[in-house]
Structure 1
Amino acid sequence: MSLDSRPLDADQIVDRRRLRRKLTFWRVLTVLVALAAIGAVIATSRSGSLTNLPSGAIARVTISGLIRGNQERVQALERLANSNVKAVIVHIDSPGGTTAGSEQLYDSLRRVKAKKPMVVVVDSLCASGGYIAAMASDHIIAQSASLVGSIGVLIQYPNFTDLLKTVGVKVEDVKSSPLKAAPNGFEPTSPEARAALASIVMDSYNWFKELVSSSRKLQGAALDKVADGRVFTGRQALDLKLIDQLGDERTAIEWLAKEKGIDPKTPVRDYRLRSRLSDFSFLHLAAVTTLNAVGLDGFARSLEQSGAFAAAERLNLDGLLALWHPSPTN
């Protein structure tokens, strides 16, 4: 290498360092701006806003994803019940969630129905806790290929006993009674603990069945046929009396016009039950935005495609579940 070329190489190294510093600066700035924008949206995206609903409109409420307890949702539905909307169409696309959260949603929707004509439209899936919510309405509409049902309750918990033996770890505890903190995942579940869990599951299952019986007017063999945990297509659900009609939102508007006297030309407007970026969705969006900003967009896409975000959200569920396909791998 000649002496004349050395200053040029040094300049190139300096330029590359400057470029790297600039890229780092802009990446960090992009992340900060993105996080600030997310914070601003959260601050301004108040749930249950009635300002976008014209007087006398039909409110479209959407329930999707996993169902948990949510006081913000309860308050939004209370505002909707006391508003001047003419009717409510509830779209459901949910595999269910916690039993308590589903019951809370059911009770809130019942209070809306007491004041407003309400009809449920099943989109793709209305299973377990989603179906509990659907029964708040007197009229349920589903598409022919929708999945409906999964009437049942479960408790799931991991057991690490064999893994701990393999790595040579033993977890010890001192308990006030044998059933305290059972099951704990660090030891085999005793018959007494399993029986206690089974009694909880069966008590909630009987409550679920009674709800189906009173809401859908099903008894005896007809009730047992739909309450074995299976899901049914919309066509099957209609024959089994789990739903009332096949169709979509247009069908719901026609029913409201015929049965409740609602003008079919009444505009239908969306009504949010929670802010756009609440709960886990905020963490999801922040993670994706940050990974994209620092040049790891490929990694963000792989997480999306692998279902890692959905799996983490499902693992966040705890307690009694009214949920179809609860495994994180589904």
Structure 2
Amino acid sequence: LLLAFGAVRGESPRLGSGPRVGVIDVKGTIGGGADRDETEDILKRIRRFAEDGDLKAVVIRVDSPGGSVGASQEIHDEVKRLAQKKVVVCSMGNLAASGGLYVSVACPKIVANPGTLTGSIGVISQFPNVKDLAEKLGVKVETVKTGKLKDAGNPFRDMTPEDRAYWQGLVENTLGQFVKAVAEGRKLDEAKVRAIADGRVLTGAQAKEAGLVDQLGNFYDAVELAKQEAKLSGEPVLVYPPDERGRFLEQLMGGAAGAVADAVATRVAQGAADARQPGVYFLAR
């Protein structure tokens, strides 16, 4: 009962006596739609670990293609605050690109697999154009607006040169924010970052050569690095936040928890589709 209670509270059962190392997952599309709820959960988990005086080190596990700009920046800033109180190490999984990289560079140390896909420093904004389809269907849309740019990106008309220049200015400004965050986080010259800020994806090995990654290795190498940086001894006990308790409850409840997990996964997939709404994104394509 005590083990079950500990799991519900959010900590892995303390079957070991080693130092506690926190683990926070940043997975899937960041922000937008249903994923907005996940972003808020991540922020709460970071705050919880920041307030835990007995926790000396945290590993941020990133496996994400990126997502909305604002959500990526929110998580990035909260991770930076956490790093002022704890040892923080990023572990890049299969994918830590665009917004995933934006979150990662908030960590003072980054570990990636040689084959991790990262980089993709850039900003994208896409707009559907259904003007011809609407005309074929006999649909006409009347727009009443207060300014000439108020409906820039309207899918029922062609984008004007002025519209395009407006949106280009937005994405260029946002790219500048991205480049600055990477340069500050990795202690690189902005010119060096801009040289690879053309949207290209890098492998973990290439990212290390470019200065985006500190060392190559897997999740447990990142845990070991966090342990060393925090000067901890003994086999670490990994601690997961409350919202990650499903992994232990699934063992207790069997298929029932699995069915719930499937339902949640479906909702997340729908949210990822919602995230493709017009806007600006740190998103690998």
TM-score by structure 1 length?
A: 0.70
Specify the alignment match of 1:222 in structure 2: 192
AA in 1 matched with 2:40:
Q
Q: CA deviation at 1:48?
A: 9.9
Q: CA deviation at 1:119?
A: 0.4
Q: Cα distance 1:114–1:193, how it changes in 2: closer, same or farther (>3 A)?
A: same
Q: Cα distance 1:231–1:48, how it changes in 2: closer, same or farther (>3 A)?
A: farther
2:112 aligned residue (136, 142, 158):
142
Identity across matched positions, percent: 32
AA in 1 matched with 2:171:
V
Q: Whose relative contact order is higher, 1 or 2, with alpha carbons under 8 Å and at least 6 apart? A: 2
CA distance in structure 2 between the partners assigned to 1:288 and 1:72 by the alignment: 19
1:71 equivalent in alignment to 2:40: yes
Q: Cα distance 1:312–1:135, how it changes in 2: closer, same or farther (>3 A)?
A: same
AA in 2 matched with 1:148:
T
Q: CA deviation at 1:287?
A: 11
Q: Cα distance 1:267–1:240, how it changes in 2: closer, same or farther (>3 A)?
A: same
1:152 equivalent in alignment to 2:115: no
**Does the Cα contact within 8 Å between 2:11 and 2:239 map onto a contact in 1?**
no
Question: 2:65 is paired with a residue of what secondary structure?
Answer: strand
Q: Cα distance 1:218–1:274, how it changes in 2: closer, same or farther (>3 A)?
A: same
Specify the alignment match of 2:167 in structure 1: 197
| Residues matched between the structures, number | 259
CA distance in structure 2 between the partners assigned to 1:53 and 1:123 by the alignment: 25
Q: CA deviation at 1:311?
A: 6.2
Root-mean-square deviation (CA, aligned residues, Å) is: 3.1
1:93 equivalent in alignment to 2:77: no
Specify the alignment match of 2:255 in structure 1: none
Aligned structure 1 segments of 4 or more residues deviating by more than 6 angstroms: 285-289, 308-311
Specify the alignment match of 2:271 in structure 1: 313
Q: Deviations over 1:107-143 (max 9, x none)?
A: 1111211111110011100001111110111110000
CA distance in structure 1 between the partners assigned to 2:261 and 2:13 by the alignment: 33
Listed as ranges, the matches of 1:170-319 within 5 Å are 170-219=140-189, 221-271=191-241, 312-317=270-275, 318=277, 319=279
CA distance in structure 1 between the partners assigned to 2:243 and 2:184 by the alignment: 27
Q: CA deviation at 1:288?
A: 6.6
Q: Deviations over 1:176-212 (max 9, x none)?
A: 1221132121111111111111111111100101111
Specify the alignment match of 1:323 in structure 2: 283
Q: Cα distance 1:196–1:53, how it changes in 2: closer, same or farther (>3 A)?
A: farther
Larger radius of gyration: 1
Q: Deviations over 1:267-320 (max 9, x none)?
A: 1233355786xxxxxxxx67977xxxxxxxxxxxxxx9xxx9776433211422
Q: CA deviation at 1:72?
A: 3.2
Task: Give the gaps of 5 or more residues in structure 1.
Answer: 1-44, 277-284, 290-303, 326-330
Specify the alignment match of 2:139 in structure 1: 169
**Does the Cα contact within 8 Å between 1:63 and 1:91 map onto a contact in 2?**
yes
AA in 1 matched with 2:46:
L
AA in 1 matched with 2:282:
A
Range moving further from structure 2, 140-149 or 214-223: 214-223
Question: 1:66 is paired with a residue of what secondary structure?
Answer: coil
CA distance in structure 2 between the partners assigned to 1:258 and 1:51 by the alignment: 22
TM-score by structure 2 length?
A: 0.81
Q: CA deviation at 1:224?
A: 2.5
Q: Cα distance 1:137–1:263, how it changes in 2: closer, same or farther (>3 A)?
A: same
Listed as ranges, the matches of 1:96-135 within 5 Å are 96-135=66-105
**Does the Cα contact within 8 Å between 2:92 and 2:113 map onto a contact in 1?**
yes
**Does the Cα contact within 8 Å between 1:96 and 1:323 map onto a contact in 2?**
yes
Specify the alignment match of 1:31 in structure 2: none
AA in 1 matched with 2:28:
G
